[in-house]
Amino acid sequence: MREAEPRVIRPYGDTTGDGRVQVSFTLPVPYGSEQERALAEGAAAQLAAKMGLNPAMVVHAKGIGPDFTFFVVYGVVSHLVDLADVVVAGREFPLLAAGEVSRRIRAGLGRELVVLGACVGTDAHTVGIDAILNVKGHAGEKGLESYREMRVVNLGAQVPVPGLVARARAERADAVLISQVVTQRDAHLAAARGVAEALAAASWETRRPLLVAGGPRFDPAMAAGLGVDKIFGRGTTPREVASYLVHALTPEPGATPGGGGEGA
Report the DSSP beta bridge partners of residue 62.
70
In this structure, are 176 and 117 located in the same domain? Answer: yes
What single-letter amino acid sits at 183?
A: T
Q: What is the CATH number of the domain that holds 22?
A: 3.30.30.60
Go through the chain and tell me how many residues it has.
264
How many domains, in total, are found in the chain? 2
Q: Cα angle vertex 218, ends 216, 222, to 5°?
A: 165
Report pLDDT for 262: 39
Average pLDDT over residues 71-83: 95
Whether residue 215 has pLDDT greater than 60:
yes
Taking the alpha carbons of 181, 184, 189, 192 in that order, is the dihedral positive or negative?
Answer: negative
In this structure, are 76 and 102 located in the same domain? Answer: no
Report pLDDT for 264: 29
Could you list the residue range(s) of the whole structural domain that residue 116 is in? Answer: 98-249
Whether residue 175 has pLDDT greater than 50:
yes
Give this prediction's pTM: 0.78
Report pLDDT for 78: 92
In this structure, are 116 and 201 located in the same domain? Answer: yes
* Catalytic site positions: 136
In this structure, are 173 and 122 located in the same domain? Answer: yes
Report pLDDT for 177: 96
Report pLDDT for 256: 45
Report pLDDT for 10: 93
Q: For residues 72 and 87, which has the higher predicted lDDT (pLDDT)?
A: 72
- CA dist 190 and 213 (Å) reads 12
Q: Write the Ramachandran bin of 182: left for phi over 0, alpha for psi from -120 to 50, otherwise beta.
A: beta
Q: For residues 188 and 38, which has the higher predicted lDDT (pLDDT)?
A: 38
Report pLDDT for 121: 83
